[in-house]
Structure 1
Amino acid sequence: MLPSSSPAAPREGTVAPSLWAEDAYSSALRHYRSLPKKGKPQGRESTVLAAFLLSTPQEPQSPTVLSMGTGTKCLGASPQRPRGPRPRRARRGGVMPVTPSESELPREQLDGGVNGCSDIGFVQRKPGCGDTTLSMSCFDKITRWSVVGIQGALLSHILEPLYLTTVTIGQLPDGAPEGFSIENNIEKVLDARLSSLSSRLPASFRLSKPMFFEAPVPPKEFQQITGDVPPLTCGYSICWNKSGLQLHEVVLGTTGRKQGTSSKAACLPSTEPLLCK
């Protein structure tokens, strides 16, 4: 069920979501449920859902879903050729990192980059099975968008940078880990990372720090919870956007190809998703 305008009292360890978080959560979930069953988790499967929404001064409590993506897989480095398959979903969000320990995955230094948590000059890459991935962590992507915008390299030639105003994150079912909070582990870290760039931005770019909000606990199909029965992740990714064509396609996350692609057709341009390069 969608949350009502008068949500139930939050569980112990969680916080009451703001009205904006409730509205964003409800709009995204309502739109997701309006989509066909194809590509959605089945049985014990779960996935990650992210969406971009737009609100207006006239209707601030009725945000419109502009794009949406699901999925938990990212391609390794080798399939990401200059020309597809490298689909862009909803510029997908997922996990926000806490400060990394020495036992975590190694991080890679990039020229002019900024780090995933505390070391200026480093970014975190998403883990991959087998072939190493080149995908940055979701927090690193938000950091980049806070500087260069979300419009992408091509549109940067004709548009002023477009920046996020807010980022809304679903709460964990059992509450946040001890010592974790959006203020301490996300907002402060983002502030620290962006402050190192304040004096080296080219014209038209600026530092834009989004406000972070906590949404209600998401439904079970969006919860990656460990327990007696090992969790399964959905291998498919839904790609949708509110274009004139109402783009909606399902992609196999491990290959970057459209759902139903045979092994013989795996290299054909016709099997590449529309969102790839």
Structure 2
Amino acid sequence: YSLGKSGKPREAEWTTLAAVVIEEDNRFYVACLATGTKCTTGERSKLQNVIIDCHAESLCKRAFKKFLCHHFLNGHSVDGLKFHLFISQLPCGVIERYRGAVDKDNEQIGIQRKPGKGEKCEKASCVDKIAKWNILGFQGRRLLAITKKPIKFDSIVIGNCTEKPEYNGKRFRACLTIDKYQIDPNQNKIIKSEITNMFPLNYCPSLHFNENFRESIFTRRESVNASNSAIVFWKENGSTNMVDVVVNGFKQGVTRKEVTKKLLRISKQTLTSDIDRLFDVKKDHDL
């Protein structure tokens, strides 16, 4: 399947690629993928239905929700499936975590915001989001009612790796796990054990640094600009391929005046409608 030319980086641009691969009966297929490196900030970020976090990992989660909705609507379950996350380079926030005391025991939990140049974005860094997904699952809060248990990655594969110090399994693992004795700064008390029974805090998938995947277009390069556009792909009904192209938080080609009418299929409003419809179908089926 070809994604077409829309949304792809130009010759003098780079981007990040993230994808979810499902393993079923020793067969592997891509459920969804996304590219992207930007955040929507300033006045544009206050507009309705704009997507603020346009990093590949976050867009990939939106695509995964679309995939799951149609997966469940077609009567399928996630039992027996394994889920693998591929990212074409280290997720944002890792280097900042390395510079902190990530190896200290009982370090207080803190949120690392999106790093980078330009206007500050208050969204959590991708490495912090992945750490959260390792606990709460990749399916999102509402779909947990359907999955019954968190969907966690069996492995995370990082591409474009070299022998540089930042590609260190122990240090990266420390960024993705939370010790059960750590203190929640908002509540200032030990996280309750009954919660950790369902959501173990120390879970971490198998980590792999892939030195064979070497694609310069999918890794940060100081000499060229990051692409402003992003491609979001997911499968529906097993074989139908769907694509959204995001530019500066909007659907490609949509102006500010049109943003409330011409929605991205991965927008919050559309995803909410999809999940509502799934719940309605499940409710009718259970009657």
* TM-score normalised per structure 1: 0.68
Asked if the contact 2:13–2:225 (Cα under 8 Å) also holds between the matched residues in 1, the reply is: yes
Cα deviation, 1:104-146, whole Å, max 9, x if unaligned, reads: xxxxxxxxxxx97764220111136554312211211111011
Give SS of 2:32's match.
Answer: strand
What residue is the counterpart of 2:176 in the other structure? 190
Mapped partners of 1:67, 1:135: distance in 2? 22
Identical amino acids, percent of aligned pairs: 25
Of residues 49, 52, 55, the one that matches 2:23 is 55
Asked if the contact 2:128–2:175 (Cα under 8 Å) also holds between the matched residues in 1, the reply is: no
Shift of 1:76: 2.7
The amino acid of 1:231's aligned partner reads V
Asked if the contact 1:78–1:131 (Cα under 8 Å) also holds between the matched residues in 2, the reply is: no
What is the count of residue pairs matched by the alignment?
220
Give SS of 2:198's match.
Answer: coil
Shift of 1:157: 2.7
Of residues 147, 164, 167, the one that matches 1:159 is 147
* TM-score normalised per structure 2: 0.66
Mapped partners of 2:102, 2:33: distance in 1? 24
Q: Does 1:95 align with 2:120?
A: no
Shift of 1:203: 5.8
Mapped partners of 1:42, 1:55: distance in 2? 32
Of residues 49, 56, 59, the one that matches 1:84 is 49
Residues 72 and 251 (structure 1), Cα distance of their counterparts in 2 relative to 1, 3 Å cut: same
Asked if the contact 1:148–1:205 (Cα under 8 Å) also holds between the matched residues in 2, the reply is: yes
Asked if the contact 1:116–1:140 (Cα under 8 Å) also holds between the matched residues in 2, the reply is: no
Higher helix share: 2
Q: Does 1:73 align with 2:38?
A: yes
What residue is the counterpart of 1:209 in the other structure? 204
Cα deviation, 1:41-97, whole Å, max 9, x if unaligned, reads: 1111111000011012x22xx421011000110123765569522275113953361
- Alignment of structure 1 residues 1-277 onto 2, 5 Å: 34-56=2-24, 58-59=25-26, 62-76=27-41, 79=44, 84-86=49-51, 89-91=59-61, 94-95=91-92, 97-98=94-95, 99-101=97-99, 119-127=107-115, 131-160=119-148, 161-172=150-161, 175-178=162-165, 180-193=166-179, 196=182, 199=193, 201=195, 204-207=198-201, 208-215=203-210, 216-226=212-222, 230-244=223-237, 246-252=241-247, 254=248, 256-265=249-258, 267-270=259-262, 272-277=263-268
Residues 63 and 198 (structure 1), Cα distance of their counterparts in 2 relative to 1, 3 Å cut: farther
Give SS of 1:152's match.
Answer: coil
Asked if the contact 2:232–2:245 (Cα under 8 Å) also holds between the matched residues in 1, the reply is: yes
Mapped partners of 1:55, 1:209: distance in 2? 18
The amino acid of 2:232's aligned partner reads C
Mapped partners of 1:211, 1:219: distance in 2? 23
The amino acid of 1:206's aligned partner reads P
Cα deviation, 1:201-222, whole Å, max 9, x if unaligned, reads: 2663334321101122331211
Asked if the contact 1:143–1:194 (Cα under 8 Å) also holds between the matched residues in 2, the reply is: no
Asked if the contact 1:116–1:137 (Cα under 8 Å) also holds between the matched residues in 2, the reply is: no
Give SS of 2:142's match.
Answer: helix
Residues 116 and 41 (structure 1), Cα distance of their counterparts in 2 relative to 1, 3 Å cut: farther
Question: Unaligned regions of 5+ residues in structure 2, if any?
Answer: 63-86, 183-190, 269-287
Residues 238 and 193 (structure 1), Cα distance of their counterparts in 2 relative to 1, 3 Å cut: farther
The amino acid of 1:171's aligned partner reads N
Q: Aligned-pair RMSD on alpha carbons?
A: 3.0
Give SS of 1:67's match.
Answer: strand
Asked if the contact 1:71–1:234 (Cα under 8 Å) also holds between the matched residues in 2, the reply is: yes
Name whichever of 158-167 and 85-94 sits farther off: 85-94
Mapped partners of 1:123, 1:40: distance in 2? 31
The amino acid of 1:222's aligned partner reads F
Mapped partners of 1:38, 1:170: distance in 2? 24
Give SS of 1:51's match.
Answer: strand
Name whichever of 79-88 and 130-139 sits farther off: 79-88
The amino acid of 1:67's aligned partner reads C
Question: Unaligned regions of 5+ residues in structure 1, if any?
Answer: 1-30, 103-114
Shift of 1:100: 4.6
